[in-house]
Amino acid sequence: MSKMGNLDRAIRGNQDPLTKKALLAEFYNLYGFYPISGGDATGDETFTLEQVNEKVNTAVEAEAGKHKGTWYENLSEENRNSPSMVKFKDGSFDDVVKGYNELEGRIGLKGTIIPAEGSSDQVKADFYKAIGRPETAELYENPVFDNLHEGVKSINEQDIKAYKDKSFELGLSAKQSQGMLEWHLGLSSQRLVDWDKQQLDDKNAASTTLRTKWAAGYDEKLALSNGLIKKFGSDALMEKIGSDPEAIEFLANLGSQLSEDKLGELGKSNMGMNAEQAKLEITKVMKTIMDTDQSDPTYKDLVQKKNALYKIAYPNKAPVGAAI
């Protein structure tokens, strides 16, 4: 129980009103000084309990005020004149303790002050050095490209230098900078891997769709589409259209409508095969034709494919068995 609690208990043990003599005696026993000026403990003046509490509080506050600032006067001259102490001259010792606790909270494990808003460049530089920032941006390690997508490996030296400079500006340690760079490159690499997979999936899906629709005429119509792109487009366009079945079909239909003389190297006789390859393909197509009923919807396409292959295998001869 606190001293005030002890005094209150002592007071409550007496009758109300309490005599001045009893009040002074109880208070002095607890605090060592009198709450009423004069220190006369012989008077017969009485006080109510409310008056007692008021006088006790006033006395305690006054006594505390007497000691305010005395801690500063007891310092050595050197410490009193210290800029760190002068600002506490008119304060209490609690103010000093509070300031110390705040300062301690800004001290790092190595005794380095953690920069605050508006800290000097030197304070920041000392802190960055303490946490592991290299002396210069050039001393950050270069990225490791093992097991990364080829597209990521194309990053140039200028980009790497820019990243190092930014890491240095932000005060990143060597470990932090390397970790962030590896994370970023890894993320970029995975996105490119996912993109490649999606492109391949789309291309396979387009191929499946057109094979189902064109059946035996797939190779010939695809050759027409690719031929137009090669003649009038680019490899990049070929890559883009390769996963779009509607675009491929449009070009194939366009190619089939062009006359033989306008097609030139795009003619149906040019399917990207040489003569020997065409002869091997004819054997396969002939076997399929033999196994296919003439009422089958694919039969006509098979015959057209065979005729187109003959133009490649035997460019100077008329197709054999064209009426099949």
Q: Quick check: is 247 in a domain?
A: no
pLDDT at residue 39, rounded to an integer: 45
Q: What is the pTM of this model?
A: 0.45
The CB-side HSE value for 76 (13 A sphere, CA atoms) comes to 2
The number of residues making up the chain comes to 324
Q: Quick check: is 243 in a domain?
A: no
Q: How far is CA 139 from the centre of its chain?
A: 24
Q: Are 225 and 248 in contact (CB under 8 A)?
A: yes
Q: Are 67 and 86 in contact (CB under 8 A)?
A: no
Give CA–CA dist 74/103, Å, rounded.
23
Does one domain contain both 61 and 85?
Answer: no
Query: Of the candidates 190, 205, 230, which is a domain's last residue?
Result: 190
Q: Quick check: is 44 in a domain?
A: yes
Residue 305 has a CB neighbour count (10 Å cut-off) of 26
Cis bond upstream, residue 143 (ω within 30): no
pLDDT at residue 271, rounded to an integer: 45
DSSP β-bridge partners for residue 113 = 107
Q: Residues 171, 175, 178, 179: what is their CA dihedral angle, to the nearest 10 degrees?
A: -110
Secondary structure element (H or E) that encloses residue 46, with its range: strand 46-47
Q: Quick check: is 144 in a domain?
A: yes
Q: Are 288 and 302 in contact (CB under 8 A)?
A: yes
Query: Of the candidates 190, 212, 228, which is a domain's last residue?
Result: 190
Q: Quick check: is 219 in a domain?
A: no
Domain housing 291? 273-324
Q: Quick check: is 49 in a domain?
A: yes
Q: Residues 101, 105, 111, 114: what is their CA dihedral angle, to the nearest 10 degrees?
A: -140
Q: How far is the CA of 28 from the CAs of 24, 53, 76, 118, 174, in angstroms?
A: 6, 15, 33, 53, 66
Secondary structure element (H or E) that encloses residue 18, with its range: strand 18-19
In the three-class reduction of DSSP (H, G, I as helix; E, B as strand; rest coil), residue 47 is classed as strand
- The tokens 């007891």 sit on which residue? 74
Q: pLDDT tens digits, the chain, 324 residues: what are they?
A: 444 444 554 445 444 454 555 656 666 665 555 555 544 444 455 555 566 667 666 765 665 555 555 677 777 888 778 877 777 777 777 777 777 666 555 555 455 677 888 888 888 898 888 889 999 999 999 998 888 998 888 888 999 999 999 999 999 999 999 999 999 999 999 999 999 899 889 889 988 999 999 888 888 888 888 888 887 888 888 888 888 888 888 888 887 776 444 554 444 444 456 778 878 888 888 888 888 888 877 788 788 888 878 878 777 665 544 443
Q: Quick check: is 237 in a domain?
A: no
Q: How far is the CA of 267 from the CAs of 15, 224, 237, 263, 312, in angstroms?
A: 125, 8, 21, 5, 10
Give CA–CA dist 163/103, Å, rounded.
34
Best CA proximity match to 185, nearest among 154, 158, 139, 140: 154
Which residues, 6 or more positions from 256, have their beta carbon under 8 angstroms from its beta carbon?
221, 224, 268
Q: Are 134 and 164 in contact (CB under 8 A)?
A: no
Query: Of the candidates 168, 190, 212, which is a domain's last residue?
Result: 190
* Amino acid in position 189: S
Q: How many domains does the chain have?
A: 4
pLDDT at residue 283, rounded to an integer: 86
Give CA–CA dist 262/320, Å, rounded.
25
Q: Quick check: is 35 in a domain?
A: yes
pLDDT at residue 268, rounded to an integer: 46
Does one domain contain both 42 and 88?
Answer: no
